[in-house]
Amino acid sequence: EVQLVESGGGLVQPGGSLRLSCAASGFTFSSYWMHWVRQAPGKGLVWVSRINSDGSSTSYADSVKGRFTISRDNAKNTLYLQMNSLRAEDTAVYYCARDGGGVYDLDYWGQGTLVTVSS
């Protein structure tokens, strides 16, 4: 059974940093692209970032480019999102998701971790 479990969320002050983790199990993690998607309270889904299977290629939404860094450790079956220079508008539930492969869908999602940016 595919499982994705996010952790690392919490309360952080504006301008601060936070690192999210996503522990994967039930599939060959090193074979799949992975994503981060966020959802502000009461709002819709917003794609944040994607990393390819070996970590050599990444892509970011314009709203986080230069502030967030996606990475992975295939030996630990773990996906990361390093978030710097956080702003109030980054407050959201952050989901990690697996890329289905081939047609660019997201076929499995974690339950999410809440990040709150506030003073």
Residue 9 binds other proteins, judged by CB under 8 A: no
Quote the CA–CA distance of 13 and 51 in Å, as a whole number: 27
Q: Binding residue for other proteins (CB under 8 A) from 29, 34, 35, 86?
A: 35
Greatest Cα pair distance, the chain, in angstroms, is 43
Nearest to 77 by CA among 21, 14, 10: 21
Which of 9-17, 44-52, 68-76, 84-92 is the region at the interface with other proteins (rule: CB under 8 A)? Answer: 44-52
Which of 7-15, 22-30, 40-48, 74-82 is the region at the interface with other proteins (rule: CB under 8 A)? Answer: 40-48
Residue written as token pair 């940016």: 117
Residue 92 binds other proteins, judged by CB under 8 A: no
Residue 118 binds other proteins, judged by CB under 8 A: no
| Amino acid (one-letter) located at 82 | Q
